Amino acid sequence: MGSRRDVPQTVPGSGAAPTVVGVDACATGWVAVTLRAGAFAGAETATGLAEVLSRVPDATVVAVDMPLGLLEAGERRADTLAVSEMAPHRSRVFPVPPREVWLEEDYAAANQCCRRITGRGMSRQTWGLAVKLREANACRDRGDHRLHEVHPEVSFATMNGSRPVAWSKKSWNGQAVRRGLLVAEGIVLPEDLGPAGRVPADDLLDAAAAAWSAHRIARRTARSLPDPPELTEAGLPVAIWC
């Protein structure tokens, strides 16, 4: 993967002890977990993703739990492969409709557009990502190529020996298992996270898993689904990293 354009090349701080960030959407905006040399270095929230990015100029990779790269037609191979990785919990990954669907102004129009293009409708849950999906893609389209797409459940499965976590991320057992996987990777979330601790636990764990994948991307040990990534019409990569 070393020479691929979607992996940061010679960037300050990209050596043995990179600073990276994992970001997840939450009810108040975004929650971010920073790692330095693979260890927890802080957690914070922001209303906008651009604000998060401006706070971490030294980060070599920012991994975000949000689809990056929308195709003109057809399914993204990233989603198809991620679904396979999550068996038997395939419902944890949803297919990302083509770009035209996300240009609609409301759910009814988007659902109709999705049926016309793909032959199937769009769930309200998927449409609920529209604002943040547009925000994340706009940040990357404007030139912040530190941004990489991740899927925390795929990241946790990778930590877990290519086995998806059996328990829901909203359950006590599920959160305990995910936190244990992070600890085994050297990422210890403190008991007191300050204001960031008001964010639901599953969002914080997802941000930490995204940061784990970001560290792997920075160290060039991550996998991309697919490998090599697909490309948008603008030549930007479409892949889920883990």
Rg (alpha carbons) of the chain, rounded to whole number: 17
Q: What is the pLDDT of residue 90?
A: 84
- Please, are residues 220 and 2 in contact by the beta-carbon 8 Å criterion? yes
Conformational region of residue 220, where left means phi above 0, alpha means psi within -120 to 50, and beta covers everything else: left
Which of the residues in the chain have pLDDT under 70?
A: 1-16
Q: What is the pLDDT of residue 91?
A: 87
Helix (H) or strand (E) holding 19: strand 19-26
Q: What is the pLDDT of residue 204?
A: 98
Helix (H) or strand (E) holding 231: strand 224-231
Q: What is the pLDDT of residue 94?
A: 87
pTM of the model: 0.91
CA distances from 67 to 95, 120, 130, 235 (A): 10, 19, 10, 16
Q: What is the pLDDT of residue 237?
A: 96
Q: What is the pLDDT of residue 201?
A: 97
Task: Name residue 29's beta-bridge partners.
Answer: 26
Task: Name residue 25's beta-bridge partners.
Answer: 30
Compute φ and ψ for 190, nearest 5 degrees.
-70, 160
Q: What is the pLDDT of residue 152?
A: 98
Q: What is the pLDDT of residue 12?
A: 36
Q: What is the pLDDT of residue 16?
A: 58
- Tokens representing 157? 């499965």
